[in-house]
């Protein structure tokens, strides 16, 4: 890894899901692999760029295409905001 370069989770294409939160903001949820190889869901706000990217590690695989909006909102609420290291 390059010095000063921030590692970002690698997303797998084709597994993204768009949904609205309780405040009617539009979010994209996508699977990612962390630098340590564990599974995570990364949340990016599409309707408000001021919202920080969030991510949460998962113990089991969650098929986002089959996950309900309510479940995605719960995961989003549990996901901490990612900041600069």
Buried b (16+ CB within 10 A) or exposed e, 28-50: bbbbbeeeeeebbbbbbbeeeee
Distance CA(31)–CA(34), nearest Å, equals: 10
Q: Look at residue 24 and tell me whether its pLDDT is greater than 50.
A: yes
pLDDT for residue 45: 97
Instruction: Give the global pTM.
Output: 0.77
Q: What is the pLDDT of residues 42-72, one digit of tens each?
A: 999 999 999 999 999 887 777 888 889 999 9
From residue 73, give the alpha-carbon distance in Å to each of 1, 27, 32, 36, 64: 33, 10, 18, 25, 12
């Amino acid at each position: 890894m390059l010095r000063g370069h921030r590692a970002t989770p690698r997303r797998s294409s084709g597994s993204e899901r768009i949904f609205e939160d309780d405040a009617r903001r539009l979010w994209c949820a996508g699977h990612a692999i962390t630098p340590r190889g564990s599974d995570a869901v990364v949340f990016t706000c599409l309707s408000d760029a001021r919202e920080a990217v969030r991510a949460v590690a998962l113990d089991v695989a969650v098929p986002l295409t089959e996950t309900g909006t309510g479940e995605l909102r719960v995961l989003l609420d549990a996901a901490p905001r990612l900041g600069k290291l």
